Amino acid sequence: MSALTEVQPTVTVTPAQVKFFHEHGFLAVDRITTGDEVERLQAAYDRIFAERCGREEGNQFDLGGSDEDGKPAALPQILNPLKYAPELGEVMARVNARAISKQLLGEDCKDRGSHAILKPAGYGAPTPWHQDEAYWGSDLEYCSLSVWIPLQEASVENGCLWFVPGSHKLEVQAHRCIGGDTRVHGLEMLDHERFTKHAVACPIPAGGATFHLNGTMHYAGPNTTQTPRRALILGFGLDAKPRQTPRKFPWNEAKRAPRQERAKAFRERQEKKTTA
């Protein structure tokens, strides 16, 4: 597919869906692409995990574990997977995800990066309750969303997303690195039970997607099935603005994830190359 900016979207959401999204902080859409495209995406997705793309850059790591070399990842993640497999971005799923995001947040909505989270067959760990904004800068005000695109059916059994309706209206709650281990990149919300008793599961067919805001509390269960659960996540949003009320995210300052060291070492090697 070429000149993707000229490709017209094939899916739109209704005013009732836009209203639902702003009221509840999430929206499930049954179809943003075709089965054929999902199969093509699957092949590229599996390749970059199998080839450990981005590992030495700190872009591939274990979101749910201590991430030592040679140790199987509980929850493998790749940041910016489109860098390693551009074909993941040259698809109708992205055209439709972008168009729907503009319907939800306005025409000024821009692409905001991508990532991929794999739950391996039979043991993929749960993704604990969190708000995406807890990973970001504490000094900015965000208005952005994530489009979560499973590359097979997403079910309660293989780790579909769960959301707490209305939680996007709350401030970022206290988080910590999963299990209190500062080597783990993934975050978990403390005291989540008081919110998550109202959570709803969002199973969706292959070719569908869920949309959620930066503050929406969400979770994905473990993968208890015998096939991998693949999810490609595309970010969209307005420009972040400086925040008026200061706040602190101490969990990010405390983090000592091996991926940060690999990213630093990689940057230093690159700098050496350019100055040599």
Bridge-partner residues for 236, per DSSP?
111, 145
CB of 194 to Ni ion, least distance (A): 19
Are 234 and 211 contacting, i.e. CB atoms less than 8 angstroms apart? no
Give the count of residues interacting with Ni ion (CB under 5 A).
1
Q: Does 57 bind Ni ion (CB under 5 A)?
A: no
Interface positions, 200-219, toward Ni ion (CB under 5 A): none
Residue nearest to Ni ion (CB): 132
How does DSSP classify residue 240?
P
Q: Does 188 bind Ni ion (CB under 5 A)?
A: no
CB of 56 to Ni ion, least distance (A): 25
How does DSSP classify residue 124?
P
Q: Which residue has the tokens 């059994």?
A: 157
Binding track over 130-169 against Ni ion, x by CB under 5 A = --x-------------------------------------
Closer to Ni ion by CB, 86 or 137: give it.
137
Query: Could you tell me the CA-to-CA distances from 55 to 73, 77, 85, 181, 187 in Å, in that order?
Result: 12, 10, 14, 21, 20
Angle between helices 35-50 and 92-105 (to 10 degrees): 100
Closer to Ni ion by CB, 77 or 96: give it.
77
Closer to Ni ion by CB, 92 or 221: give it.
221
Q: Does 67 bind Ni ion (CB under 5 A)?
A: no
How does DSSP classify residue 168?
G
* Interface contacts to Ni ion, rule CB under 5 A: 132
